[in-house]
Amino acid sequence: AQTVTQSQPEMSVQEAETVTLSCTYDTSESDYYLFWYKQPPSRQMILVIRQEAYKQQNATENRFSVNFQKAAKSFSLKISDSQLGDAAMYFCAYRSRYGNKLVFGAGTILRVKS
Amino acid sequence: DAMVIQNPRYQVTQFGKPVTLSCSQTLNHNVMYWYQQKSSQAPKLLFHYYDKDFNNEADTPDNFQSRRPNTSFCFLDIRSPGLGDAAMYLCATSSAGRDLNTEAFFGQGTRLTVV
């Protein structure tokens, strides 16, 4: 079974600075998808960024980018120019390309200081 | 334009009294999920439907059941809620078999309180 590990329960960043959230995963599959989801307090979970395992190029979405290291099974999220609205719980998630289960890590609380 | 709608947002139920949570979607996705999320923890998958095929997680208690009468709707039934079932319940949808829509779309959740 696949597992996702987020080793940072909590992170803090100063507004306008850069922060990196870590994620590792364990799988025997070669084809899969990785996601970072954001869950603001009492609000809906939304997708931040997605990476297909067969793509070597790291995904980017505006201020959000990932460092995908397939061999190391590592998938970190970098948030540049942090904003107060980035404060949330961030979940790393895994989905097999040929399955439907979405497996989440334990989450990292990100606090943004003004 | 809500795409995954959960009702109600807040539900209070009595210990042992059956309760049903509902989820509807306008995305026409063939996969629907139910997750249980306790405070500041990762969502825990209870079960999911792939079309009408029901897939239960091995550690989901028998107390939790689900129904999917059609593509748009899915229900979570808790037959005899205990205090430990108090949590946020998240419904999500996704497409299977099509790379363009691999992400899951979540509803706003239903917060269940058991008294």
Are residues A44 and B108, on separate chains, in Cβ contact within 8 Å? yes
pLDDT of residue B15: 96
With vertex at residue B104, the alpha carbon angle to CA A56 and CA B56, rounded to the nearest 5 degrees, is: 115
**pLDDT score recorded for residue B39:** 85
Q: What residues of chain B have any CB closer than 8 angstroms to a CB in chain A?
A: 31, 33, 40-43, 45, 48, 50, 55, 90, 92, 94, 96, 99, 102-104, 106-109
Nearest to B41 among A35, A46, A106 (CB): A106
d(CA B38, CA A89): 13
Which pLDDT score is estimated for A87? 97
| Residue ranges of chain B whose pLDDT lies below 50 | 100
Q: Which residues of chain A have pLDDT under 50?
A: none
Tell whether A96 is within 8 A of chain B (Cβ): no
Contact B42 A50 (CB under 8 A): no
Q: Report CA torsion sign: B74, B39, B41, B101.
A: positive
Q: Does the beta-carbon distance from B102 to A50 stay under 8 Å?
A: yes
Of the candidates B66, B70, B74, B69, the one whose C-alpha atom is nearest the C-alpha of residue B23 is: B74
| Alpha-carbon gap, residue A64 to A20, rounded angstroms | 10
Q: Which pLDDT value is given to residue A99?
A: 78
pLDDT at res. B108: 93
> For residue B13, what pLDDT is reported?
96
> Inter-chain contact A100–B41, Cβ cutoff 8 Å?
no
* Residue B36: C-alpha distances to residues A20, B76, B78 (Å): 27, 11, 12
Q: What is the DSSP letter of A59?
A: P
Residue A64 sits at the chain B interface (C-beta within 8 Å) = no
Q: Look at residue B95 in the predicted model and tell me its pLDDT.
A: 84
Phi-psi region of A81 (alpha: psi -120 to 50; beta: other; left: phi over 0): left
Q: What local confidence, expressed as pLDDT, does residue A65 receive?
A: 97
Residue A106: its chain B contacts at CB < 8 A? Answer: 41-42
Kindly list the residues from chain A whose CB atom is less than 8 angstroms away from the CB atom of residue B48.
100-101
